[in-house]
Amino acid sequence: MSSSVPNCTLFYSLHGLAVGEFQQQSQQLRTHLVNHNIKLIDLNQWDKSGLSGREKMAIRKTYQFPRKSNYAVLIDENEAVLNTFKHDVNVVSVLLSCPKQ
d(CA 39, CA 91): 12
Q: Please indicate, yes or no, if residue 13 is contained in any of the structural domains.
A: yes
Q: Please indicate, yes or no, if residue 17 is contained in any of the structural domains.
A: yes
Q: What is the DSSP string of 19-49?
A: HHHHHHHHHHTHHHHHHHTEEEEEGGGGGGG
Q: Please indicate, yes or no, if residue 12 is contained in any of the structural domains.
A: yes
Q: Please indicate, yes or no, if residue 69 is contained in any of the structural domains.
A: yes
At 29-58, the pLDDT tens digits run 999 999 999 999 999 998 888 889 999 999
**pLDDT at residue 100 above 90?**
no
Average pLDDT over residues 7-34: 96
At 77-95, the pLDDT tens digits run 999 999 999 999 999 999 9
Task: Give this prediction's pTM.
Answer: 0.91
Number of domains in the chain: 1
CATH code assigned at 20: 3.40.30.10
**pLDDT at residue 1 above 70?**
no
Domain containing 74 equals 8-97
